[in-house]
A and B are shown apart, each in its own frame.
Chain A
Amino acid sequence: MSVILNALKEQFGKAILDVVEFRGEDTVIATKESAHKILKHCRDELAFDYLVDISSLDLLGEEPRFEMVYELYALGNGSNQHLRIKFKVAEDEKVDSVTDLWKTAKWHEREVYDMMGIEFNGLADHRRILMWEGYPYHPLRKDFPLAGRPTELPDVAFTEKAPLAGGPFVTSPTSASTSHREPRSRDFD
């Protein structure tokens, strides 16, 4: 096991549910409550000075429903270390913002809020970043249809369901021939 995973396990004990090492990629699965503490430790003690990305997963049907993913990178000390920290979030829970650790977290967290509807404690600015202000849905959730839902924001904007016209036109991973893999009109209902 890598030095970093060992150090983290030693430091946080039960707050770390699992560690995964896969082809040199280190992943820490943490509890939601301790996540901020672990991230702060990674920045201050382990030289992870660069927050590459924050993303989120919707595991619809599972409990808790959402999962947060933080990608860290050690840029300053030249070690090129990469670390991923994950934790689960229930639908009615809020996540502690890391904008106090990395300023860049602001846009990432706004995107997570906009697309997935996860709210953050300590994020001052819950404005939409990709959809417009007043849009009522969080479109990357699994139970949101690709075609969208009709919305109406009087005097500002309205949307209608997009005509899928036999789509969605997506590639299908398969070992069959190219014509099976190519994006074609397929029925997904």
Chain B
Amino acid sequence: MPDDTTQHAAYDSKVEGNVIFTKVDAAINWMRSNSLWPMPMGLACCGIELMASGASRFDIARFGAEVMRFSPRQADVMIVAGTVTYKMSLAVKRIWDQMPEPKWCIAMGACASSGGMYRSYATLQGIDNLIPVDVYVSGCPPRPEALLEGLMKLQKKVTEEESSMAHFQADSARTLETSKA
């Protein structure tokens, strides 16, 4: 017979169903990974496939990423879809810098990943020259299914992050900085 005083709270009928036990990381990552708001950086034909991913046939909403945000301040993941020319790369970098942390990047298609077939003076040879990329999606352009798989890969990556740790480390680094000042 278990002692009344050691009885587990989850078995208390009054709160049962309203309380769950989990780790902070798991909870944060679960919320983040299922609500990745994309910044649609559609620069070429990949942008058309990105639109298809958002439409009814492929329906990116199934992964909680249907809220395309045209303001970088409301976006979580930048989907670089298309050829990044040097002239445009200044704008891409600026938009990336305006996105709040935590943020991720998907390089969609050959051009965004490596410059693709555009080996010339005008084209940036891969967006990873400017911003950190989490997932590369191959294809020219990739099918919407490929983008969705890339998104699922990113979701998996997000669920494995030590989110609270990153938060506290950033916090303590900031405290350290202020105490130094």
Q: Which of B52-60, B115-123, B159-167 contacts A (4 or more CB under 8 A)?
A: B115-123
Query: With an 8 A cutoff between CB atoms, is A159 at the interface?
Result: yes
Besides the known contacts A131-B122, A147-B121, A169-B119, 6 further A-B residue pairs in the complex with CB atoms under 8 A apart:
A148-B122, A149-B121, A159-B121, A162-B123, A164-B119, A165-B119
Query: With an 8 A cutoff between CB atoms, is A157 at the interface?
Result: yes
A146 to B121, CA, bound (A): 6
CB pair B119–A163 under 8 Å, yes or no, is: yes
Binary flags per residue of B53-87, CB closer than 8 Å to A gives 1, else 0: 00000000000000000000000000000000011
Min CB–CB distance A183 → chain B (angstroms): 9
Q: Which of B117, B120, B123 has the most CB of A within 10 A?
A: B120
The contact sample of 11 A-B pairs, CB cut-off 8 A, is A130-B122, A131-B122, A139-B122, A145-B121, A146-B121, A157-B89, A162-B121, A162-B125, A165-B119, A168-B119, A169-B117
CB pair B117–A148 under 8 Å, yes or no, is: no
| Residues of chain B within 8 A of A130, CB atoms compared | 87, 122
Min CB–CB distance A137 → chain B (angstroms): 8
- By beta carbon, the residue of chain B nearest A144 is B121
CB pair B121–A157 under 8 Å, yes or no, is: no
A interface, CB within 8 angstroms of B: 130-132, 137, 139, 144-149, 156-157, 159-160, 162-165, 167-169
Min CB–CB distance A184 → chain B (angstroms): 12
Main DSSP-derived SS at the B contact region: loop
Interface residues of B in 83-115 (CB under 8 A from A): 86-87, 89-90, 115
CB pair B120–A148 under 8 Å, yes or no, is: yes
**Chain B interface size, under 10 / 10 to 19 / 20 to 34 / 35 or more:** 10 to 19
Interface residues of B in 118-144 (CB under 8 A from A): 118-123, 125
CB pair B90–A167 under 8 Å, yes or no, is: no
| Residues of chain B within 8 A of A165, CB atoms compared | 119
| Residues of chain B within 8 A of A169, CB atoms compared | 117, 119
Binary flags per residue of B37-49, CB closer than 8 Å to A gives 1, else 0: 0000000000000
Min CB–CB distance A70 → chain B (angstroms): 25
Q: Which of B89, B117, B119, B122 has the most CB of A within 10 A?
A: B119
| Residues of chain B within 8 A of A137, CB atoms compared | 121
A167 partner, pick from B89, B119, B125, beta carbons under 8 A: B119
| Residues of chain B within 8 A of A148, CB atoms compared | 120-122
Closest 4 CB pairs of A and B: A148-B121, A162-B119, A164-B119, A139-B121
A147 partner, pick from B87, B90, B117, B119, beta carbons under 8 A: B119
CB pair B120–A162 under 8 Å, yes or no, is: yes
| Residues of chain B within 8 A of A139, CB atoms compared | 121-122
Q: A148-B120, A163-B119 are in contact. Are A157 and B125 (CB under 8 A)?
A: no
- By beta carbon, the residue of chain A nearest B86 is A159
| Residues of chain A within 8 A of B90, CB atoms compared | 132, 156-157
A27 to B123, CA, bound (A): 36
| Residues of chain A within 8 A of B125, CB atoms compared | 160, 162-163
Min CB–CB distance B48 → chain A (angstroms): 23
| Residues of chain B within 8 A of A131, CB atoms compared | 86-87, 122
